[in-house]
């Protein structure tokens, strides 16, 4: 047996985790750069918890609160310029995957002044300034992954920056999700589910990553009823956050595969939220497996009797409502079959027709 395991992020999980552990901010320097999205962190208490802690500790800070969903390289570069000018020592990213991924890319650009949006993808492995992550969605697990997924308008797609930027600390408090709208809750939860499934049914899966996948799937299964009936109390939020965090650890080892690769085009060209894009493709992706051993284990772990039932549940949770033509599907299929990084994570051989059929069956002949 051969495997590697590396996940260096220190995780603090629980209610009021920021105020209880604020002293750790002192280890990272004199000036913090708080990076967040436009609104939600100010409404759910996470922004105030961070700012109050910094003020109590008398740590200087500046704020960039303009990270959009699916953050663009342009926004990232603008935020990095501000951070460089202000000579910040470390970043506290607050929000969903978009502000967290942007924080990692910004930290990398601040620390490596010769790199910018035009040469960043060919950079050698370099270090970022420290990043502390405060997730407010239970979806991406970005607080414990090394990935930074950015929108590249030049290439007309979303892509991984290609650097390894694990946050140094993840401060995970489920309470920030208590007033999250239903659609965001469901879309982000399905992102976590697709991480669990793609990480489990993956070429890179090993004994440790499977351990995370199995626990994460089991926890996710316990949330399904609450999600379907829109009965999402603190206990369900906590389980969703934990399964998303575990899913993040899983994909930090195994990576994602075909649904993520296929979903990027739906997000870039059709504006479909990330988790929903994966969710629309998941059931057909699982049907494609010739060897169903692990597919059946997934169903067992989330306590669903068949792929048809999973398909039915996904259709209850999200609207399969993308307006798409067969020609567009051909273009997206071509993009996917040239995405070697995602294809190599899939354990069986895949041809153009396999990908094409997943799109057609999921989005047209649904
Ligand atoms: P997001 O794009 O960060 O945010 C989606 C929406 O949710 C925004 O409108 C945001 O508002 C709002 N929101 C965030 N937290 C909220 C809360 N607690 N209550 C109410 N609303 C809240 O969503 P996401 O799905 O978490 O992140 C998606 C991004 O992560 C994509 O770019 C995806 O590619 C990436 N991703 C990264 C990884 C990784 O490993 N790094 C893995 C999977 C996906 P504001 O804009 O006002 O904050
Ligand atoms: Fe994802």
Model pLDDT for residues 107-129, shown as the tens digit of each residue? 999 999 999 999 999 999 999 99
Half-sphere exposure of 200 (CA within 13 A, CB side): 29
In three-state secondary structure terms, 230 is: coil
pLDDT tens-place string over residues 304-347: 999 999 999 999 999 999 999 999 999 999 999 999 999 999 99
% of the chain residues with pLDDT over 90: 99
In this model, does residue 366 exceed pLDDT 90?
Answer: no
Tokens read off for 176: 């920030």
Helices 326-337 and 352-359, axial angle in degrees (round to 10):
140
Task: Determine the average pLDDT of the residues in 42-51.
Answer: 98
pLDDT for 180: 98
Tokens read off for 86: 């202000």
pLDDT for 28: 98
Q: What angle do CA 299, 279, 255 make, to 5 degrees?
A: 80
**Matching residue, tokens 């051989």:** 349
**In angstroms, what is the span from residue 97 Cα to ligand 1's centroid?**
4
How far, in Å, CA of 50 to CA of 69, rounded? 21
Strands 10-13 and 169-172, bridge-based pairing: parallel
pLDDT for 244: 98
% of the chain residues with pLDDT over 70: 100
In this model, does residue 1 exceed pLDDT 90?
Answer: no
**In angstroms, what is the span from residue 2 Cα to ligand 1's centroid?**
35
pLDDT for 174: 98
Task: Determine the average pLDDT of the residues in 189-199.
Answer: 98
**In angstroms, what is the span from residue 151 Cα to ligand 2's centroid?**
14
In this model, does residue 56 exceed pLDDT 90?
Answer: yes
pLDDT for 110: 98
Specify the DSSP class assigned to residue 72.
B
Specify the DSSP class assigned to residue 128.
P
**Mean residue pLDDT across the chain:** 97
Whose alpha carbon is nearest atom 22 of ligand 1?
Answer: 40
pLDDT for 317: 98
Confidence of residue 75 (pLDDT cuts 50, 70, 90): very high
pLDDT tens-place string over residues 257-293: 999 999 999 999 999 999 999 999 999 999 999 999 9
Instruction: Name the residue of 69, 240, 266, 267 whose CB sits within 8 Å of the most ligand 1 atoms, as the mutation to test its pocket.
Output: 69
Ion ligand 2 neighbours (CB, 5 A) are 191
In three-state secondary structure terms, 160 is: strand
**In angstroms, what is the span from residue 96 Cα to ligand 1's centroid?**
3
**Matching residue, tokens 């990908």:** 355
Which protein residues are within 6 Å of ligand 1, measured from CB?
A: 37-41, 44, 69-70, 95-99, 101, 136-137, 139-142, 145, 147, 149, 158, 176-177, 180, 184, 188, 191, 274-275
Tokens read off for 340: 């070697």
How far, in Å, CA of 100 to CA of 140, rounded? 9
pLDDT for 217: 98
pLDDT for 223: 98
- In this structure, how many other beta carbons lie within 10 angstroms of the beta carbon of residue 8? 11
**In angstroms, what is the span from residue 348 Cα to ligand 1's centroid?**
31
Give the H or E element holding residue 63: strand 60-67
Q: pTM of the prediction?
A: 0.98
Check if the beta carbon of residue 161 is closer than 8 Å to that of residue 121: yes
How far, in Å, CA of 316 to CA of 318, rounded? 6
Whose alpha carbon is nearest atom 32 of ligand 1?
Answer: 70
Instruction: Name the residue of 96, 102, 153 whose CB sits within 8 Å of the most ligand 1 atoms, as the mutation to test its pocket.
Output: 96
Whose alpha carbon is nearest atom 40 of ligand 1?
Answer: 142
Whose alpha carbon is nearest atom 34 of ligand 1?
Answer: 149
Tokens read off for 194: 């697709």
In three-state secondary structure terms, 45 is: coil
């Amino acid at each position: 047996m051969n495997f590697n395991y590396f996940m260096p992020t220190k995780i603090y999980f629980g209610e009021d985790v920021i105020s209880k552990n604020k002293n750790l901010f002192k280890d990272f320097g004199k000036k913090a750069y708080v990076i967040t999205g436009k609104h939600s962190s100010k409404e759910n208490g996470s922004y105030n918890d961070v700012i109050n802690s910094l003020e109590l500790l008398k740590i200087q800070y500046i704020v960039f609160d303009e990270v959009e969903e699916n953050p663009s390289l342009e926004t990232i570069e603008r935020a990095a310029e501000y951070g460089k000018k202000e000579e910040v020592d470390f970043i506290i990213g607050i929000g969903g995957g978009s502000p967290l991924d942007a924080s990692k890319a910004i930290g990398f650009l601040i620390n490596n002044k010769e790199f910018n949006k035009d040469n960043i993808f060919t950079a050698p492995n370099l270090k970022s300034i420290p990043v502390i992550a405060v997730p407010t969605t239970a979806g991406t697990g970005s607080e414990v992954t090394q990935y930074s997924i950015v929108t590249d308008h030049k290439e007309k797609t979303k892509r991984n920056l290609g650097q390894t930027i694990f946050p140094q600390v993840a401060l995970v408090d489920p309470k920030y999700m208590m007033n999250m709208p239903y659609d965001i809750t469901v879309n982000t939860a399905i992102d976590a589910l697709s991480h669990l499934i793609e990480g489990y049914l993956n070429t890179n899966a090993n004994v440790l990553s499977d351990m995370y996948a199995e626990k994460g799937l089991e926890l996710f299964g316990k949330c399904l009823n609450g999600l379907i009936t829109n009965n999402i109390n603190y206990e369900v939020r906590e389980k969703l956050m934990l399964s998303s965090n575990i899913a993040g650890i899983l994909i930090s080892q195994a990576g994602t595969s075909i649904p993520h690769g296929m979903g990027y085009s739906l997000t870039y060209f059709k504006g479909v939220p990330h988790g929903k894009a994966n969710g629309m493709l998941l059931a057909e992706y699982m049907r494609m497996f010739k060897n169903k051993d692990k597919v059946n284990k997934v169903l067992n772990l989330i306590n669903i009797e068949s792929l048809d039932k999973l398909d039915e549940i996904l259709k209850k949770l999200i609207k399969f409502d993308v307006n798409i033509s067969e020609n567009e599907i051909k273009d997206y299929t071509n993009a996917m079959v040239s995405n070697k990084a995602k294809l190599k994570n899939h354990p069986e051989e895949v041809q153009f027709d396999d990908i094409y059929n997943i799109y057609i069956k999921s989005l047209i002949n649904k």
